[in-house]
Chains A and B, each alone.
Chain A
Amino acid sequence: MPVDTTTEPDEVAGADTTRPRRRSSWSRGPSRKWRSRWRWQSRLNWAKITPYLLLLPAVLLELLVHIVPMVIGIWISFIKLTQEYIQHWGQAPTAGLSNYRIAVDFSGPVGRSLLESFKITCLYTVVVVAFSWVIGVVAAWVLQRPFFGRGPIRTLFLVPYALPIFAGVIIWNFMLQRDSGAINELLVNNLHLVHHRPFWLLGNNAFFSTAVVAIWRQWPFAFLMVMAGMQSIPNDVYEASSLDGAGSWAQFFHVTLPMLRPVNRVLLLMLFLWTFNDFNTPFVLFNNSVPPSADLMSIHIYSNSFQVWNFGYGAAMSVLMLLFLLLVTAIYLPLANRRSRSVT
């Protein structure tokens, strides 16, 4: 995607500046051909180079911020970077593929736990993306028509997204505490739904707690994107459909949703990538000791590299995760593109 967006403008710029000039230089006749060609070429070169020169700072920064760390990460995955070499990375012995072999050896303890973490992350991603998207779409649909108090409600809905992650998640941590948390206070003392105070941050409940907090954080983004998308749907489509006798439901399913498809295509991909990579929610929610049921990939990688001082493993797992995400994206984008093209 980024390649397309960056090359398109200079393609256009190059075409605009070179084409007319080329014609005019050829029409001047053969006698001054060599001089004009020299001038034309030097002009053309500048014209060709300028856009790249303008792009150069961005490219360098992109290299510095994205590509270089990525290359270093890939390099680390091929060396034995342990405490002995952490100070002099360059001297760490090469590991070949051994880090990868250990990571994907699903009969060994490291590989087995990685596979387990991968499954948990997939489930987590499906749950979080599905709920965030549905809640976001419903909220945007409900708030589409003007009514008294719509502005403040819209703002209120965006609060979870606007809050700093740490502040939001740590408040959930307080609320989900077993003895002093607001959730148990409500369930046990006020509503008397359960007798024994459940643990929300231990055991299997931890998975649901993390998912709920992540949905709480993500859905306002879905809401925002869908709301923007809905505002670009022309009103006459709705008018036409209501003349044909379509009710609200029919309009939602046959007008709104199909016309939101371009927005949803990008939105779902972004939600997927963010959720699959989610590190902050479990890390802050569990104070750095994440229970196995919420052992998401990024947390798993962190504890297998930073916490046990073996950066080779962690890097190899990161590369595997990156490859997986690339694969999913590479399959998803053409599929989604084809579908949205066939509709319009």
Chain B
Amino acid sequence: MRTRLTRSTRITLGTVGLLAAVAMSVTACSSSGGSTSPNSKGNSGGGGGGSISGQTITYWASNQAPTIAGDVKALTPELAKFKQQTGVTVKLQVIGWADLQNKILAAVSSGQGPDVLNIGNTWAPSLQATGAFRPFDAQAFDAIGGKSQFVPSALATGGAPGQAPTSVPLYGLAYGLYYNKAMFKAKGLQPPTTWQQLVSDAKALNDPSKGVYGMALEGGSYTESVHFAFIFGQQHGGNLFDGDKATFTNPGVLAGIKQYVDLMGTDKVVNPSDAQYSQGPEAVTAFAKGKAAMVMNQNNADVAIEQAGMPHSDFGVAAIPVPNPLPAGGKDIASFPAGINLSIFKNSKHTAADEAFVKFMTSAAEQEILDKEFTALPINTAAKATWTDDAAEAKTFANILATKAAPLPLTKNEATMETAVGKAMGPLIAKAATGGDVSLGDIKSAMQQAQGQMPPG
């Protein structure tokens, strides 16, 4: 009797539990599916009219200054100004690059996110595909000051071609080759104009016994790695995508990655310790401290270099050179239109306030202040370039963007590619740093692995 009772109750309990679990998971998914539609309807209706004063919005800013505290310090007075103008309070949260993508993804899947956020502009088509961000249609563009105020090449990064973009540019950036003027002068060298020159200059300036190296790399940073895979891949005629399909193993891409990894491996002009640099401006700091003669970085390096103690007059900037002769199919590419874009979360209940904030941040007046703070290139055609007082530097970067920049692939799988390729390059750089020989075969198998991680189709 006793055993029969317990067995049957066990079964009942089990069944009840299973049913409850199924019921709860079903309700969970239906509620997450249902809750978004009334919200988005509310948003499109609530765009115009009504006072936004007194509202509070949350803003996720990316880490643009050398430290997160630096970002908070730079943005706080501007947000106070915005509050004075509109009565809208902006709650600021600055998020480091290592976490930003994951946090955005978590926000998308839970529906619990900020109102306005910064994204790396290369992620725009991928994030657009999630459908979690408000498309900037003609009406929305009017609300933020007009489509024509944006620099066209920057605006083109806002989303996939042919669709209303889900992000608008905020800061423009480009890669350049920073070099230490005094070190170059001491050896009678000019800034390199070919890749071969860059390598021979780096070798001439390399002096590991004194802890000085020809080049500094952010070797452990997956975002930096993938950017160079793209730039050098382009120099060798390699494309990472054919439409939405990943083509990481094509010979041009492999040769491009080899060119980058060889700085550490066969050329031995990089401090092996750089393989661990991933925390932000570590390579730039090594450059500023005179531990490296060159560093390839986006133009926001200026702040970090000066903060680390190197006066602006001590460094120069040139375009990252290409191999001579240019490999078959290769292009003279030294950068991509890098930068930060602003997106509005579709679930936001304060669309009008969000748009006012985007308008404020992208306005010419505010751009001139923010660009100076974060050494960014203006994305508003009416804004003056305030990011540097150095006319030669301003000209170099303007020239790079105008003639030597190609956009990263504008596909929904771009963000996945950045992680897959970037993370696959870490071990290659590590192998080069620990004295191993990195062959094209090694690079190919790493890229095959990365390609296998891409979503099918």
Contact = CB atoms under 8 A, between A and B. Distances in A.
A289 B222 contact: yes
Contact of B21 (A68, A89, A108, A306): A68
A110 B450 CA distance: 9
Contacts of A89: 29, 32-33, 109
Interface string A54-92: 000001100110011001100100000011101111110
A91 B33 contact: yes
A304 B131 CA distance: 22
A63 B22 CA distance: 10
Contacts of A287: 98, 220, 278-279
B25 A203 contact: no
B452 A109 contact: yes
Contacts of B22: 71
B426 A309 contact: no
B443 to A, nearest CB: 14
A68 B23 CA distance: 9
Interface string B306-339: 0000000000000000000000000000000000
B106 to A, nearest CB: 9
Interface stretch (A7-15, A146-154, A328-336): A7-15
Interface string A282-314: 000001110110000000000110111110000
A158 B24 CA distance: 41
B455 A177 contact: no
B21 A71 contact: yes
B448 interface: yes
A199 interface: yes
A340 interface: no
B126 interface: yes
A87 B275 contact: no
A303 B222 CA distance: 13
A196 to B, nearest CB: 9
B33 A88 contact: yes
B6 A11 contact: yes
Q: Which one of A14, A71, A108, A289 has the highest number of Cβ atoms from chain B below 10 Å of its Cβ?
A: A289
A63 B24 contact: yes
B431 interface: yes
Interface string B92-122: 0000001000100100110100000000000
B247 to A, nearest CB: 15
A83 B32 contact: no
Contacts of B21: 63, 67-68, 71
Nearest to B279: A287
B422 to A, nearest CB: 9
Main DSSP-derived SS at the B contact region: helix
A72 B452 CA distance: 25
B453 A308 contact: yes
A308 B454 contact: yes
Contacts of A222: none
Contacts of B132: 86-87
B349 interface: no
Nearest to B6: A11
Q: Which one of A3, A75, A292, A308 has the highest number of Cβ atoms from chain B below 10 Å of its Cβ?
A: A308
A87 B35 CA distance: 11
A84 B426 contact: no
B2 A15 contact: yes
Contacts of A63: 17, 20-21, 24
Given A75-B25, A199-B433, A310 B449 contact: no
A17 to B, nearest CB: 12
B423 A307 contact: yes
Contact of B276 (A67, A75, A113, A199): A199
Nearest to A116: B449
B398 interface: no
Q: Which one of A59, A177, A203, A303 has the highest number of Cβ atoms from chain B below 10 Å of its Cβ?
A: A203
Given A68-B24, A88-B131, 14 more contacts: A63-B21, A68-B25, A83-B129, A88-B32, A90-B32, A178-B272, A179-B273, A199-B434, A202-B433, A203-B431, A287-B279, A289-B278, A309-B455, A310-B453
Report, nearest first, the 6 A-B pairs whose CB atoms are least far apart.
A109-B452, A202-B430, A90-B29, A90-B33, A307-B419, A86-B109
7 contacts: A7-B9, A87-B108, A90-B33, A109-B449, A177-B276, A289-B220, A289-B426
